[in-house]
């Protein structure tokens, strides 16, 4: 599921009378949003227990990451509507929209979110939520919801499916141990040959308590009959796959989604990953090797990990980079924490290891991505990145909004 068009945000969509109220109340809402969102989720899951059982990832709920992501998205969207200097959260909304279609979210669920969210706002802020204040924030919510609903409708249409109808049954065909903590899973499943390099699928498993939990995994390889993912020992779904799913078993899988998609042009390309963040990069490299139109494109792969043994896709990346190097410039550079190594992009540019004018694709932990993003900003006059694309391990959208 993919479209070239970005979500259609509009800075002037909010009515002027409500814009004044949002300007006045945004500091109060913003200061309390992290108190509001846990109450909201508790209310919603109490009223709709099927959502926490079958749709929302319980690990993200326990850690609080999902609550922070919702808080960030609403506050950022509201700020965009009332402050011409605030950033347009179009990239954040695109990521949210792709996550939603990969979970089979449908338009009717936005009403559920609305009702429980506003009940939580009233519970936290009490009499401060006058009818006028409630009406203003109601407009903000539905403006944001409409942006996402319209975008998600187009994503579903791009795959020729009805809204929410994205699940297939996928049979496990092969398990391959890549490292002590990472195993490659290859499933039989149709519709994945149209996946774009860098996209992911949601895998759903039925746990012992009856809950169907979902988690996204980047696609490392696809063809007309199969798709592959890399599973690291971490979280309910991944551990269930590693311990309980064997060749011949079936799981739920969703059609490919995700906006970290490789742009096909002739610009130099830098792929930066940490840990299991190598998975979308492996998919991109495999696409470059298979796509003759991309032959000769300069490619640099940077990967950080704890140790060489922890780098689960080291051999696969070496082989793919070697294949690309036959027709152009391709290098693979690693940094391992046990050797006290890290990436210094400024020095690497001076040494000719990292080109100027490149497209950058980043995937890894939050601290790692923050460091790479800061380095790109600090050295933008010498690195001159033409574009920077992110994928995050967790729903921390405020990092790159």
* Cα gap 382→376, rounded to integer Å: 9
Catalytic-residue membership of 185: no
* Cα gap 289→266, rounded to integer Å: 14
* Cα gap 124→275, rounded to integer Å: 39
Which residues neighbour 47 within 8 Å (Cβ) at sequence distance 6 or greater? 112, 116
Catalytic-residue membership of 16: no
Q: Which of 65, 152, 200, 361 is catalytic?
A: 152
DSSP percent split of the chain into helix, strand, coil, nearest 5: 50, 20, 30
* Cα gap 259→1, rounded to integer Å: 9
Q: Which of 41, 65, 91, 110 is catalytic?
A: 110
DSSP notation for 199-259: -EEEEEEE-TTS-EEEEEEEEEEE-SSEEEEEEES-SHHHHHHHHH--TT-EEEEEPPB-S
**Strand, coil or helix: 178:** coil
User: 235 near 326, Cβ under 8 Å?
Assistant: no
**Strand, coil or helix: 270:** strand
**DSSP 8-class letter at 46:** H
* Cα gap 386→176, rounded to integer Å: 37
Tokens of 170: 């996928």
Handedness of CA 169, 174, 179, 180 (dihedral sign): positive
Residues acting as catalytic residues: 110, 152
């Amino acid at each position: 599921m993919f479209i070239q068009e970005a979500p259609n945000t509009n800075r002037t969509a909010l009515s002027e009378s409500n814009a004044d109220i949002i300007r006045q109340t945004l500091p109060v809402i913003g200061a309390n949003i992290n108190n509001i969102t846990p109450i909201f989720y508790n209310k919603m899951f109490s009223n709709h227990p099927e959502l926490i059982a079958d749709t929302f990832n319980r690990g993200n709920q326990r850690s609080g990451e999902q609550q922070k992501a919702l808080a960030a998205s609403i506050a950022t969207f509201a700020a965009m509507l009332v402050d011409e200097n605030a950033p347009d959260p179009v990239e954040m909304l695109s990521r949210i929209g792709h996550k939603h279609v990969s979970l089979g979210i449908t338009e009717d669920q936005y009403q559920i979110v609305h009702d429980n969210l506003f009940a939580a706002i009233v519970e936290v802020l009490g009499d401060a939520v006058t009818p006028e204040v409630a009406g203003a924030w109601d407009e903000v919510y539905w403006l944001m919801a409409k942006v996402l609903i319209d975008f998600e409708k187009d994503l579903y249409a791009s795959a020729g499916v009805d809204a929410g109808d994205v699940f297939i049954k996928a049979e496990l065909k092969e398990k391959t141990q890549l490292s002590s903590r990472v195993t490659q899973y290859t499933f039989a499943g149709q519709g994945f040959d149209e996946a774009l390099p860098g996209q992911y699928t949601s895998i759903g498993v039925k746990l012992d308590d009856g809950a169907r939990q979902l988690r996204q995994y980047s696609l490392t390889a696809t063809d007309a009959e199969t798709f592959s993912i890399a599973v690291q020992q971490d979280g309910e779904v991944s551990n269930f796959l590693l311990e309980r799913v064997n060749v011949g078993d079936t799981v739920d899988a969703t059609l490919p989604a995700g906006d970290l998609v490789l742009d096909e042009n002739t610009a130099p390309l830098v792929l930066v990953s940490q840990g299991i963040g190598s998975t979308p990069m492996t998919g991109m490299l495999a696409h470059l090797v298979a796509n003759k139109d991309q032959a000769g494109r300069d490619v640099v792969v940077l990967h950080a990990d704890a140790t060489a043994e922890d780098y689960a896709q080291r051999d696969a990346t070496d082989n793919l980079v070697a294949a690309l190097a036959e027709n152009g410039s391709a290098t693979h550079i690693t940094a391992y924490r046990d050797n006290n190594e890290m990436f210094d992009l400024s020095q690497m540019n001076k040494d000719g290891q990292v080109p100027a004018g490149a497209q950058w694709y980043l995937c890894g932990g939050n601290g790692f991505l923050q460091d790479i993003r800061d380095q790109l900003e600090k050295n933008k006059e010498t690195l001159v990145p033409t574009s920077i694309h992110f994928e995050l391990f967790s729903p921390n959208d405020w990092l790159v909004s």
